[in-house]
Copies of this chain bind each other. A is one copy, B any other.
């Protein structure tokens, strides 16, 4: 079964397809989207994903009558740089991409962000298709945020640019290592925690099936996760306000990533600790203690960490947070749960409370 969701953004609306065997249909789908066969297509992928799936994508596109150019870069966050960006641009120019061409991002979040920024800026914007191959990318492939990193700060150089199509082939998820599965599920359950109580508890009940990549459960979870994100994005495409609720757990999470070096914790692991921290913050602000208990139950059921190793010191984390771009004009803003499935944007959080939360997160032994 193929599930379909539409991200409603007026003339920039686009469908997300979720199902099995979709990679083999990409050529026909590109024709349905309206990309002309005379304009070359560029597939961007990384050194981990390309050996597994690039040939299938190229074959489907070629069979549909397209000329295909590919660019494969070393996997990892270090590739999300202006240097690799320029190299992909070079491939696009040498491959003869024109204004009616499209860029297809085959891979996880790094591939999607980088290829999306190429699509957004090659000849001032050409077609863009996302083919996420990680669970985590269900998040980054909805919402149109594309970017590369600057040596001084993550995601500092980018754009809002919507794809014409997101193609989620569940078959590509079967090869994911367990830690990456759990990391991806952190963003899935986050969407329940911010807006859908029933779905959050559904994730708790079906954690084992999700970790086992059981297609029915996984398809449903991705559909709900994408749908919730799509609804938030549709209401606030350029992140002027409400879209910030998607950042639940991300302020502390980004600080953990910055202090530990990107890669020590996976992104989903870092934001899981951040979401546990947000629930502790909620308790400090007088909200129900059960928010923390249930949040931790959900995260641990999904194999995610909820505590901080002691080497992540309070000072280092606070300093990293003060540099976070989400603190506009020097105030500390956090997304705070009101209950499981509802959050508020609170912009007058006291530094003492944040320090207190960090101390609490560090109290007990292992992060898992």
Contact = CB atoms under 8 A, between A and B. Distances in A.
> Which among A124, A157, A158 has the highest number of chain B CB atoms within 10 Å?
A124
Interface stretch (A144-152, A174-182, A196-204, A268-276): A144-152
A209 interface: no
Given A82-B82, A121-B157, A159-B121, A90 B328 contact: no
Contact of A156 (B85, B89, B159, B325): B89
A273 B151 CA distance: 44
Interface in A319-362: 325, 328-330
B159 A159 contact: yes
B325 A99 contact: yes
Interface residues of A, number: 36
B329 A150 contact: no
Interface string A200-233: 0000000000000000000000000000000000
Nearest to A325: B123
A260 interface: no
A157 B123 CA distance: 6
A364 interface: no
B98 A328 contact: yes
A158 to B, nearest CB: 5
B93 A124 contact: no
Contacts of A94: 152
Interface in A228-283: 238-239
B238 A125 contact: yes
A121 B82 CA distance: 12
> Which among A86, A122, A238 has the highest number of chain B CB atoms within 10 Å?
A86
A320 to B, nearest CB: 15
A86 B89 CA distance: 15
Nearest to A81: B86
Contacts of A120: 159
> Which among A39, A99, A239 has the highest number of chain B CB atoms within 10 Å?
A99
A180 to B, nearest CB: 26
A65 interface: no
Contacts of A125: 159-160, 238
Contacts of A38: 329-330
A158 B123 CA distance: 6
A39 B329 CA distance: 7
Nearest to A98: B328
B36 A124 contact: no
A12 to B, nearest CB: 12
A158 B325 CA distance: 24
A123 to B, nearest CB: 6
Contacts of A123: 156, 158, 325
A94 B98 CA distance: 36
Contacts of A85: 82
A285 interface: no
A33 interface: no
Given A36-B329, A39-B328, A93-B152, 12 more contacts: A89-B150, A90-B152, A98-B328, A121-B158, A121-B159, A122-B156, A122-B157, A123-B158, A124-B147, A124-B158, A124-B239, A125-B238
10 contacts: A38-B329, A39-B329, A90-B151, A93-B150, A93-B153, A99-B328, A121-B158, A122-B157, A124-B238, A125-B238
Closest 8 CB pairs of A and B: A124-B158, A93-B152, A38-B329, A121-B157, A98-B328, A82-B86, A124-B159, A124-B160
